Amino acid sequence: MRIAILGGDGFIGWPATLHLSALGHEITIVDNLSRRWIDTELGVQSLTPMDSIQERIRIWRDVSGASLGFELINVADEYERLKAFLTNWRPDAVLHFAQQRAAPYSMKSDRHKNYTVNNNVNATQNLLNALVETDIDAHLLHMGTMGVYGYSTVGAAIPEGYLSVDVTLEDGSSAEQEILYPANPGSIYHMTKCLDQLLFQFYARNDGLRITDLHQGIVWGTHTDQTRRHDQLINRFDYDGDYGTVLNRFLIQAAIGYPLTVHGTGGQTRAFIHIQDSVRCLELALQNPPSAGERTKIYNQMTETHRIRDLAEMISEMTDVPVSYLPNPRNEADENDLVVKNDQFLDLGLNPITLREGLMDELLDVARRYKHRIDPGRIPCNSPWNRERAAGMNRVVEVDLSETPDKSVSMD
Amino acid sequence: MRIAILGGDGFIGWPATLHLSALGHEITIVDNLSRRWIDTELGVQSLTPMDSIQERIRIWRDVSGASLGFELINVADEYERLKAFLTNWRPDAVLHFAQQRAAPYSMKSDRHKNYTVNNNVNATQNLLNALVETDIDAHLLHMGTMGVYGYSTVGAAIPEGYLSVDVTLEDGSSAEQEILYPANPGSIYHMTKCLDQLLFQFYARNDGLRITDLHQGIVWGTHTDQTRRHDQLINRFDYDGDYGTVLNRFLIQAAIGYPLTVHGTGGQTRAFIHIQDSVRCLELALQNPPSAGERTKIYNQMTETHRIRDLAEMISEMTDVPVSYLPNPRNEADENDLVVKNDQFLDLGLNPITLREGLMDELLDVARRYKHRIDPGRIPCNSPWNRERAAGMNRVVEVDLSETPDKSVSMD
């Protein structure tokens, strides 16, 4: 299959590229390298030393014999160049990861909010528009997020994208209808993925585009079978307050003996998936495209849920590094339950890698190997969600630890 | 009250400006005059001769004694200038009409699709972002559309923005929840208004912005009490295939003896409101802002519904101009019913102007007075919604007129 990977230089895009290339697909990466620019802007670097995309591609050819194409295109801003690429290369599938993907970064300032909305919405709109115009009938696979479900949970397990509801009609009878799960995103970043959903819905119905949207949980891990094949193929590993996701951040902190930073009570329950499973899910979704005229196919791309506090305690026990409770910069409920359906990928044969399988040790090894590259000052998240949370970030958190061992420590 | 009117040079913005100015409010128009540029692009002009915004403002001062401010700002593209204006002028309310507002124009080509998404989403995002940053706590009133409800109707009357649904929980019990009415827009333009809704939802919850969203029906008429006060205060009147809305277009066609163009079977039922009621609704909504922390207040801003075919027949009977059935460029159901709730404005004292009250004669007079300005070649809509509809536009429509008198005529 000929596959264009938009955002193929990123955290998911790069291992996805290698995974699909190793399966024999012909790949072209389309990327404006914006994630590298954001590293420069923030003055942080991936824990793992990351070569240029051109060098990575050269190494992959040496290791695997497979060539990868690379097009430097800003998908959000260079519509005509994107269209020309699609017209000429005619991919069978397009993987769309070409978006700003960190919630804290999206809340950092008004400039970051505008950038995230403008970049993410225009990237999706440009791509959909170009797929209609070029009429190449490529299957579009988009990386969405579990965060589109946001605050909407009503006590039911989260279905895969669509919710069945009963509506009372004028005559008093009721009718069942399947609707897109009501969006209630928690950040500007998550909101852009909700906007994406409506764009997909429209283009699937109006133009018959074949679209799959993957609502992914928090990805942990860094290696896949392919990134392990050469030091210079290593994936990026973010540990800073904006881009570092929670489990990876805990492991970094543990590696350098920095107290594990839990925001608020840590009562938030989140969905997780290992990066190896993430790329495997992409493979499965690619093998099962929707038909023209079918609504957007939505998968929940996650394998397990954990309460943040429990994860911190678990890693604390593994490593003897204490847990530190900090004010939560996010505007969210202190505690939430989360039950998520992921039957579709399980039915397609996904055999989930879970937290208990030793990969956390591997990850700790990575963190320890590169710990000289860590600037501990970059670990805290300094992007409050609103005025109230900004004011709260200087306050001490009151945590009811009656049901959890008190391991809080004070931090400067 | 100090009111900024974004898009105050447009079809609703201008009469809204005069209406609110006449009530004694202090008004500044913020507009990039893009609607005038689109006239230039399309090579069409308003039926009514329209002076520059500066001249209109001068005349209004002569007529009423009231001054209007004017700021040439592109709300979608000049965030910093918008923010500076809000910081300095500190309006109590902001009316947001600064969006591309025609469905056919939004479907005209890939360029028009991209322009509409980019312009409309960024305009709303910039405004919300600037309201948070400046912390001026202005009430934001946005002009939305009945079209956000789109294809979602399930046989129940359309509520005002929020739908009450029953969701089945894990334990088999059911819970009632109020959700944003599931969006299912029929065009790129309408979709941008659905994206707006999610932006409003987020900013109201995250930052306590006070927002009212008006889901307006198709506006008919051209005069309000204020635009009648001087020839040079006249409102714009669009009759072309992209911007001319259905009822106004029929009246123009009748005035010049051009067969009334019905798309498809004319079985579409639409919601309508007279422009005088539209500006009166704005006044009522301004008097009843939501509180900080309250969800977006949504009104259905319409007063009656009509089937397109019935409207055409009614005007045909009034004027002896025949009806012509043409292929439908829109991707939509041939026939639909529409029952809409509008209790909120009625409860606030709106006394609707209906189609039967002689204003259609006034409108016919306007059309006849300026009919020398009409280019009949610009009346048909040439913007098909997708490939299938484009192919269909050269076909003859099969209309079952067993229940309506056959008045179809052939047209070149």
What is A246-304 written as a DSSP string? HHHHHHHHHHHTPPEEEETTSB-EEEEEEHHHHHHHHHHHHHSPPPTTPPPEEEEE--E
Give the whole-angstrom CA distance, residue A196 versus residue B100: 20
The DSSP bridge pattern shows strands B211-216 and B93-96 to be: unpaired
List B326's β-bridge partners, or say none: B263
Give the whole-angstrom CA distance, residue A70 versus residue B111: 26
Give the whole-angstrom CA distance, residue A316 versus residue A322: 6
Q: Does B137 touch chain A (CB under 8 A)?
A: no
Assess whether pLDDT exceeds 60 at residue B403.
no
Query: Average pLDDT for residues B288-311, to the nearest whole number?
Result: 96
Q: Which residue of B133, B155, B194 is in closest CB contact with A110?
A: B133
Contact B194 A199 (CB under 8 A): no
Compute the half-sphere exposure of residue B28: CA atoms within 13 Å on the CB side of its CA: 18
Amino acid, res. B11: F
Identify the H or E element spanning B133.
Answer: helix B110-134
On whether the CB atoms of residues A157 and B170 are closer than 8 A, the answer is yes
Contact B191 A198 (CB under 8 A): yes
**Chain segment A93-137, per-residue pLDDT in tens:** 999 999 999 999 999 999 999 999 999 999 999 999 999 999 999
Q: Which of A135 and B363 is assigned the larger pLDDT?
A: A135
Q: Does A178 touch chain B (CB under 8 A)?
A: no
Number of H helices and E strands in chain B, helices first, is 13, 14
User: What CATH superfamily classification does A2-238+272-305+339-356 receive?
Assistant: NAD(P)-binding Rossmann-like Domain (3.40.50.720)
Q: How many CB pairs under 8 A join A and B?
A: 139
On whether the CB atoms of residues B160 and B214 are closer than 8 A, the answer is no
Closest A-chain CA to B180: A182
Assess whether pLDDT exceeds 80 at residue B163.
yes
Give the whole-angstrom CA distance, residue A295 versus residue B300: 28
On whether the CB atoms of residues A246 and A218 are closer than 8 A, the answer is yes
CA distance B122 to chain A (A): 7
**Chain segment B78-99, per-residue pLDDT in tens:** 999 999 999 999 999 999 999 9
Assess whether pLDDT exceeds 50 at residue B142.
yes
Query: Average pLDDT for residues B283-308, to the nearest whole number?
Result: 96
ipTM for the whole complex: 0.93
Contact B135 A199 (CB under 8 A): no
From chain A, pick out residues whose CB is under 8 angstroms from the CB of B167.
154, 156, 163, 165
Assess whether pLDDT exceeds 60 at residue B412.
no
Q: Which residue of B79, B179, B188 is in closest CB contact with A114?
A: B79
Contact A195 B121 (CB under 8 A): yes
Helix, strand, coil share (%) of chain A residues, nearest 5: 40, 20, 40
List Cα–Cα distances, B282 to B12, B288, B344, in angstroms. Answer: 10, 10, 13
Give the whole-angstrom CA distance, residue B305 versus residue B270: 5
What is the structure's pLDDT at B153?
57
What is the structure's pLDDT at A396?
53
Q: Which of A403 and A139 is assigned the larger pLDDT?
A: A139
Which of the four pLDDT bands, split at 50, 70 and 90, describes residue A403? Answer: very low
Tokens read off for B211: 């927002």
On whether the CB atoms of residues A271 and A354 are closer than 8 A, the answer is no
Identify the weakest region by mean pLDDT among A203-207, B238-242, B245-249, B400-404: B400-404
What mean pLDDT, rounded, does chain B reach?
Answer: 92
On whether the CB atoms of residues A238 and A246 are closer than 8 A, the answer is no
Handedness of CA B66, B72, B77, B83 (dihedral sign): negative
Neighbouring C-beta atoms of residue B351, cutoff 10 Å = 9
CA distance A80 to chain B (A): 10
Assess whether pLDDT exceeds 60 at residue B192.
yes
Give the whole-angstrom CA distance, residue A63 versus residue A55: 12
Q: Which of A44 and A401 is assigned the larger pLDDT?
A: A44
3-state secondary structure of B54: helix
Assess whether pLDDT exceeds 90 at residue A333.
no
The vertex-B286 CA angle with B285 and B289, nearest 5°, equals 80
Which of the four pLDDT bands, split at 50, 70 and 90, describes residue A157? Answer: confident
pTM for the full model? 0.94
On whether the CB atoms of residues B238 and B244 are closer than 8 A, the answer is yes
Number of H helices and E strands in chain A, helices first, is 13, 14
Identify the H or E element spanning B132.
Answer: helix B110-134
Catalytic residue ranges of A: 145, 189, 193
Assess whether pLDDT exceeds 50 at residue B409.
no
On whether the CB atoms of residues A190 and A102 are closer than 8 A, the answer is no
Identify the H or E element spanning B115.
Answer: helix B110-134
Using only C-alpha atoms, chain A has a radius of gyration, in whole angstroms, of 21
Which of A139, A157, A158 minimizes the C-alpha distance to A149?
A: A158
Which of B278, B241, B12, B243 minimizes the C-alpha distance to B116?
A: B243
Helix, strand, coil share (%) of chain B residues, nearest 5: 40, 20, 40
Residues near B122 by beta carbon (within 8 Å), at least 6 away in sequence: A114, A117, A118, B76, B77
Give the whole-angstrom CA distance, residue B250 versus residue B35: 22
Assess whether pLDDT exceeds 70 at residue B284.
yes
On whether the CB atoms of residues A161 and A154 are closer than 8 A, the answer is no
Q: Does A64 touch chain B (CB under 8 A)?
A: no
The DSSP bridge pattern shows strands B68-72 and B2-6 to be: unpaired
The vertex-A351 CA angle with A348 and A357, nearest 5°, equals 165
Portion 250-279 of A in contact with B at CB < 8 A: none
Q: What is the CATH number of domain B2-238+274-302+339-355?
A: 3.40.50.720
Q: Does B165 touch chain A (CB under 8 A)?
A: yes
Q: Spell out where B246-378 has E strands.
A: 260-263, 269-274, 297-301, 304-307, 323-326
Contact A125 B117 (CB under 8 A): yes
Q: Which residue of B133, B202, B339 is in closest CB contact with A185?
A: B202
Give the whole-angstrom CA distance, residue A77 versus residue A192: 16
Portion 200-229 of A in contact with B at CB < 8 A: 201-202, 205-208
Give the whole-angstrom CA distance, residue A403 versus residue B10: 61
Amino acid, res. A111: R
The distance from CA B193 to its chain's CA centroid, rounded to whole angstroms, is: 11
Interface mutation vs chain A, best among B154, B296, B330, most A CBs within 10 Å:
B154
What is the structure's pLDDT at B157?
87
Assess whether pLDDT exceeds 70 at residue A401.
no
Q: Could you tell me the strand order of the sheet in which B162-168 lies?
A: A174-180, A162-168, B162-168, B174-180
Contact A125 B135 (CB under 8 A): no
Contact B154 A175 (CB under 8 A): yes
Give the whole-angstrom CA distance, residue B95 versus residue A270: 39
Provide the b/e sequence for A218-232 (b: ≥16 CB within 10 Å).
bbbbbbbebbebeeb
On whether the CB atoms of residues B387 and A292 are closer than 8 A, the answer is no
3-state secondary structure of B163: strand
Give the whole-angstrom CA distance, residue A307 versus residue A218: 12
